[in-house]
Structure 1
Amino acid sequence: MFPPPSSSCPDLKALLSLFGVSGQIREEIPGDGSLRRFFRLETDIGPLVAIVPAPGGLFEARCWWLWAKFLYRKGLPVPRPYFFWPEEGVIFTEDLGNWHLEKAYQLNNRVDLLEEAVDILLHLQSLDPHKAPRVFLETTTYGRQLMVFKESAAFVAIFCHQGLKIEVPLSVARDLYSLARVAEASFDQNPVLLHRDFQSRNLMVKDNRLRLIDFQGLRLGPPAYDLASLLRDPYLDLSPSLEEDLLQAYLRLSGRPEAALRRQYDLLALHRHLQALSAFVRLTRAGRRHFAAYISPGLKKLKDLVLRDTFTPFSSLKSFILDLPVDASSLTT
C-alpha cells in the first residue's frame, strides 16, 4: 500500500489522469534545501517525480517548466519534463533516482564525473542567451546588487550576526562593497547562462551519466561563478591539485583568456563561499541539521581563498575572515 500525501498536497493521481496517465504515489522524497515537495510515482508510462511548489511558488514552478523545456530541447542532460498543471504549479518529470555527484565522488572517487560536470557547464555556457526563455526567478542578471544584498549581506546578517554573534567592522563592510564593484568590473559584454547553484547535489547520476537539476533560477552572468561553485564546492572538498586540473581543463576547452578568468574566478569564488556559508547556517537553524557538517569545510575553503594575491587590496576583509573561529559548532544553535 502506498502512503497518501498530506491533505495540503494536490491530488496527484487526479492531476495525472488529466494527461491520460494512471499512477500512484510510491514515496515522498526529502527536499534537501528546498521548501518544495517531491513525490516518486509509479505510472503506466514509467516512474515519474511530481514536484509540488512551496506556498507562493507558482512562478518558481513556471520558471522550472520553461527552462526545463528549453534545456531539454538544446540537448542539456536535464530531467525530461512530462506534464505541467499551471493552476497548481505541479510538475511531472523524469525520475532520476537518489544518487548525486557528491556521493559518487566521495564514495567512489568518480573524477570522470567531475570532468563530465565541466563539459555540462561548457555546454550550458555555449547556448545563446538571446534565444533562451525571458523568464527569471529573481533577477535577470547576476551583478553587484545581487552580490551585495544577497551574498555579502547574508554573510554579515546570518553567518556573523546571528551565527557567531559578532559585529562586522565598517572597514570590512566597505571591503565587501568594493569587492563586489571590482568583481562586476571583471564581467565582459557577453554574459552566459548562469545556474547560480552549480554544485554536486544538483548533478544527479543516472545510468552512469550526470543530469542537471534545480535550474529554475537561471539568469545571465559571468562564466566563472558556476565554475567556482563546482570546483570549490564544500560538499566535494576537492584537493587544490584536482581543482587546478579541472580549472585547466575548463580553460583549455573554453578558450577563455587565462589571466582574466582566474581573477574573476577568485573574486566570484569568494562571493559563492559567502552565500554558501550563510545558507548552511540558515538551513541548519531551520532544522535541516545535515547541513551543519559543511560549515567548517566551507569556512576553511574561504580562509584558504583569501590568502591568494587577488585579495591583498582587501586587507580588512582578509584579516577578518582569517580571524573567524574554525570551530563553527556555535553557529547552529
Structure 2
Amino acid sequence: MAGAIIRSRRLTNPMEHTMEAAQRAAAREAWLESTLAAMERRQIAKPMPLTAEASTRRFTRIITDAGPLVLMDAPPETENNAAFLALAPWLRKHGLHAPEVHAADPQQGFMLLEDLGDHLLGTALANTDAAGRRDLYRLAITTLIRFQCAGRDDPPSVPAYDRARLERELGLFRDWFAQGLLQHLPPDATWADTVAALTATALAQPRACVYLDYHSRNLLLLEHGGEQVLGLVDFQDVHAGPVCYDLVSLLRDCYLRWPEAEVRALRGDYLEAARAAGVPGLEDESAFVRGFDLCGAQRHLKALGIFARVALTRGQTHYFDAMPRVLAHLAEVLPRYPETEALGRWLASEIEPVLPAVLARHRAAS
C-alpha cells in the first residue's frame, strides 16, 4: 500500500535539464544587464536569491545604486505573465499594493519589479499573541474586501473558476498525493461523491473576484504613508469564483493553524465588514459557512496534491512539513457534512496513521 518511493517522475535526463538551466541563466543575466543599462542603473552588490515557491517562478533581489529591485524569472511555458502584467496596474489603480513593474519581457519571462521587502504576514502572525493576530488578520480582511469591491465595481478580464478547473485541481490530490505519494487511492464511490459535492458547492456560491492564493506567504507587511498595509504578490491567477474562497484560504492557511474559535471570530469580522462595504451574496450566513468549509476542503485536497507533486518531481520535500497541518484542517471539516464524511473517515483510518513513515522514507531517499 503506502510507502513506495517514486523516482520515475523526476526529470529523467539531469544533464539536459542542467544545460537548459544554464542557457536560461545566461539569457536572464543578459536581459538584466541590458535592462539596467537602459534604466541607467548599475548593480552594487551580489544578487540575493529569495525564497522559492511551489511554482516554476524564481525571484532574486538586485541591489542597484538607485535602490533594490526584484528580478522575477517566470518561464512563459508555465506561468501566466500576461495576466500578471495586466493585473498589477489594476490592483494599484484600486489602492492595493502590488509591485510596480519597472521592465518586462513577457516572451522570455523576465521582469524587474518594485521590491516590497520580505516581511511576510506569516512570520508576523507566528510571532505575536492572539490579540496581535486578530489585528493582523483584520488588516488582511480589510485588504481582501477592498480587492473584492474593486472586482465588483471595475471587474478585470479574468477567467471563471469553473467546473473543469475545480475538478482538475481535485485530481491533483488523487493523482499525486493518494496515488503518487502513498500508492493508495480512496474508494471510487467515496471519491466521486466528494468531487461532486465540493464542485457543486463551489459553483453554487455567489461570485466575486478570487485572488486564489490569498494566504500568509503571499502577503507582505509594508509601511505606506505612515500606516501598515499589505503588499500583494502571486496574483496572476485571479479568477471569478466563490466569494468565500479567499477568506478560507487566509484563515485556514496551509502553513498556519489557529483554534477554531479564532477562525469563527475572524469570519464574523469579515462578514460584518464585507456586508457594510456592499460585497454581494453574504445575506445567508449558514450558506456562507457551508461554502467556507467546503471550498476550504477543496483547496486543501488540491494543496496536498501540489505539495506531493513538487516533492516528487523537484525533490522539494520541505512541502511535506505542511501536510499534517492540511490533513488536520480536513479532519475538522469533512465529518461535518454527509457528502464528505466518508472521505474524512478514509483519511483518518487509512492515511493519517501511515503518513509520517511515508514522508520519512521519501525524505531519506531525496
Change (3 A) 1:27 1:303: same
The residue that corresponds to 2:323 in the other structure is 295
Q: Deviations over 1:44-73 (max 9, x none)?
A: 43211011122624x622221111111011
Match of 1:155 among 173, 191, 194: 173
- Name the counterpart of 2:244: 224
CA contact (8 A) 1:61 1:90 kept: no
Letter in 2 for 1:211: G
Shift in Å, 1:29: 1.8
Q: Aligned partners of 1:63, 1:331: CA distance in 2, in Å?
A: 36
Q: Aligned partner of 2:347: which letter?
A: I
- Are residues 322 and 107 of structure 1, via their aligned partners in 2, closer, same or farther at CA, if it must alter by over 3 Å? same
Alpha carbons 1:62, 1:89 under 8 Å: kept: no
Matched, 1:117 2:136: no
Paired-residue identity, %: 26
1:53 to 52, 71, 74: 74
Matched, 1:97 2:117: yes
* Paired AA for residue 138 in structure 2: E
Residue 177 of structure 1 corresponds to which residue in structure 2? 195
SS in 1 for 2:26: coil
- Are the counterparts in 1 of residues 166 and 199 from structure 2 also a CA contact under 8 Å? no
Q: Which of 33, 52, 72 is the aligned partner of 2:92?
A: 72
- Residues 230-257 of structure 1: CA deviation (Å, up to 9, x unaligned): 1111311121111111100011111222
- Matched residue, 1:37: 58
C-alpha distance in structure 2 between counterparts of 1:234 and 1:163, whole Å: 18
Aligned length: 319
* SS of match in other structure, 2:77: coil
Moved more, 179-188 or 27-36: 179-188
Q: CA deviation at 1:129?
A: 5.3
Aligned to 2:104: 84
2:308 aligned residue (277, 281, 297)? 281
- Partner secondary structure for residue 317 of structure 1: helix
Q: TM-score normalized by structure 2? A: 0.81
Gaps spanning 5+ residues in structure 1: where?
none
In structure 2, the residue corresponding to 1:307 is in which secondary structure?
Answer: helix
1:145 aligns with 2:164: yes
Q: Which aligned runs of 4 or more in structure 1 are off by greater than 6 angstroms?
A: none
Distance of aligned partners of 1:169 and 1:325 in 2 relative to their CA distance in 1, 3 Å threshold: closer
Distance 1:303 1:171 in 2: 19
Of 351, 363, 366, the match for 1:325: 351
Q: Please name the residue that 1:247 is paired with.
A: 267
| Structure 2 CA distance for partners of 1:181 and 1:296, relative to 1, 3 Å | closer
Partner of 1:197: 213
Any conservation in 1 of the 2:186–2:343 contact (CA below 8 Å)?
no
Residues 33, 265 of structure 1: alpha-carbon distance in 2 compared, 3 angstrom cutoff: same
Q: Distance in 1 between matches of 2:95 and 2:61?
A: 24
Distance 2:28 2:103 in 1: 17
Given that 1:65 and 1:91 are in contact with CA atoms closer than 8 Å, whether structure 2 keeps it comes out as: no
Higher relative contact order (CA 8 A, sep 6+): 2
The answer to whether structure 1 residue 237 and structure 2 residue 257 are counterparts is: yes
Query: 2:203 and 2:81 mapped to 1: Cα distance?
Result: 33
Q: TM-score, normalised by structure 1?
A: 0.88
Give the aligned CA root-mean-square deviation in angstroms: 2.2
State the one-letter code of the partner of 2:351. P
- Separation in structure 2 between the aligned mates of residue 32 and residue 266 of structure 1, nearest angstrom: 26
**Residue pair 1:186, 1:260 contacting (<8 A) in 2 also:** no
The structure 2 residue matched to 1:266, chosen from 293, 296, 316, is: 293
2:8 matched to which residue of 1? none
Q: Any unmatched runs of 5+ in structure 2?
A: 1-23, 276-281
